[in-house]
A = this chain, B = another copy of it.
C-alpha cells in the first residue's frame, strides 16, 4: 500500500478518536454546567464506553501498524510535517498506554475513583488518616507505572514529561531554587512592611448579573471570540476546548468579592484564546490542543496577571467597572484600586493565593512529590512535612489537614508531576512578556488604549497557532531565544511588589 494511502487511512482513524474525544468533552462540560443528577449514572456508562473505545483505539494493533508504517525513515521523508508530528504524538501515547498491563490499569482506574471520593470525605472531616491508605496505594501504582515506563536520570522526570514534555528535575531544581531565594525574602519584607493597601472597598455587594455583564465585556475586549465559545457558571471554573471553533469557559460568582469572577474569567479567557487560535488545519486531530500544561497555564496567567492585574489595563477598564458597580468605587482612585487588587498576603490555600506567594505553594508540592516518588518520604509523613514547609516558606502553619495537606484534589487521582506546570506557566509567561516587549515596546500604551489585538496576534503567531506541533521548550527557545530562565519572573515580581508596597529598592 502506498504511503499516501496509509496516511489517509491513518488520518481517518485519528479523526475517529478525536470525534469520540470531542463527544466526551461535551459530556464533561454538560455534567458540570447543569446535567440533571438522575441522569448521571447512565451518563457515567456513556463516559466509560467512549473512553474505553478511545483507549483501545490508541493502543490497538491497527494503531501499531500505522505507526510502524509511518514512522520509518522513508515515510518520514515523504510525509508532510503535520503528519509526522501526528504520528509522533500517537506513537508517544501508544507507548505510554501500551506499557501498562490492561488489568492493572483497570484496577488503577477503579482505585482513582474510590480515592477521589475518600479524599472528599477526608477533607470534609479534616482527617488525613482516612485518605492515607488510598494515597499509599495510588503512590505505589504511580511508582510501578514509572518502572514500566522507565526513566533516565530521575523517576520523577518521567512524570513531569507527561504534563510538560522535556521538563526535568534538573531544570526545575535550578529555577525553583532561584525563585525561592528571591521570593521568600520579598514575601517577608512585605509582611513586615506597614504600607498595606486598603482593600475594604473591594468587598461590597456586586450583583451576579452585573458581574456577568462586566465579565462578558472584558472577555470581548480581550479577544475571546463568542462565536467560538460561551460563558457558563460552575462551582469550579474551567476552560474546555471541544474543537478550536468551540472553546468554552465557565466562571463562579461571589457577590461579595467580584475578584473571583473577574480574574477567574480573565484567567480562563487566556486558556480559551490559546485554543481558539490553534491553526485550523490541526482540527480533528490530537494536535489541536495546547502543547503542555505549562504553556497552557502561561497563557492563562499572561492574561490574568500580565494584562488583568496591570495598572495600564485598569486605567482603561476602571470606568467600565464603575459603570457596573454603582457607587462602590466612586471615591476610590484607580491607583488605590490597583494596589488593592494586588494585595499580597501569605496564606494557606493555594487557589486563593496572590501572584507573589503562589509559586511558593507550588514549590512545596513539587518538593514533596519528588521526595515521595524517589522513596525519600513516606505518605504517612506528609502532614508534618507539609506544615513544616508552609511555616518555612510562607510563615503560616495550617491548623488542620483540610487547610493543609488535604486541600488539593490532584494527588487523589494520581496527578503527580502536574503541580509544577502551574509555576512553569508563570515563569514562561514572564519570559514571553519580556520577549514581547522587544517586539511591542508600547505594550502598556496598548492596554491603556484598550487595543489588545496586537498582543493577542503576537501570542497567536508565536504560540497559539502551533497547537501540539511544537514542544514547550521549543516554543520557549524560538520565541525568547533562550531556555527556561526564572529571572524574568523574579524581576517582574520584585519590581511590581516593591512598587505596590512602596518598598525601598534593595540596591
Contact = CB atoms under 8 A, between A and B. Distances in A.
Interface string A1-45: 000000000000001100110111011001000111111111101
Contacts of A58: none
Contacts of A46: 19, 22-23
B246 A15 contact: no
Contacts of A19: 45-46, 49-50
Contacts of A42: 22, 243-246, 283-284
A50 B15 CA distance: 11
**Which of A22, A30, A227 gathers the greatest number of chain B CB atoms within 10 Å?**
A22
Closest 10 CB pairs between A and B?
Answer: A39-B246, A38-B245, A39-B245, A38-B228, A19-B49, A42-B243, A19-B46, A23-B23, A38-B227, A22-B46
Contact of A39 (B39, B41, B45, B242): B242
A225 interface: yes
Contacts of A226: 36
Contacts of A30: 26, 30
Contact of A36 (B15, B40, B45, B230): B230
A229 interface: yes
Interface string A234-252: 0000000011111010000
Interface residues of A, number: 38
A284 B243 contact: no
Q: Is the interface of A mostly helix, strand, loop or mixed?
A: helix
B45 A228 contact: no
Contacts of A283: 42
Tell me the number of copies of this protein.
Answer: 2
A313 B201 CA distance: 52
A37 B230 CA distance: 10
A240 to B, nearest CB: 12
Nearest to A21: B46
Interface in A82-136: none
Contact of A245 (B41, B50, B225, B245): B41
A34 B26 CA distance: 13
Contacts of A24: 23
28 contacts: A19-B46, A19-B49, A22-B42, A22-B46, A23-B27, A26-B26, A26-B27, A26-B30, A35-B230, A36-B227, A36-B228, A36-B229, A36-B230, A36-B248, A37-B227, A37-B245, A38-B225, A38-B228, A39-B242, A39-B245, A39-B246, A42-B243, A42-B245, A42-B246, A42-B283, A43-B243, A43-B246, A45-B284
Contact of A23 (B37, B40, B50): B50
Nearest to A37: B227
Interface string A266-293: 0000000000000000011000000000
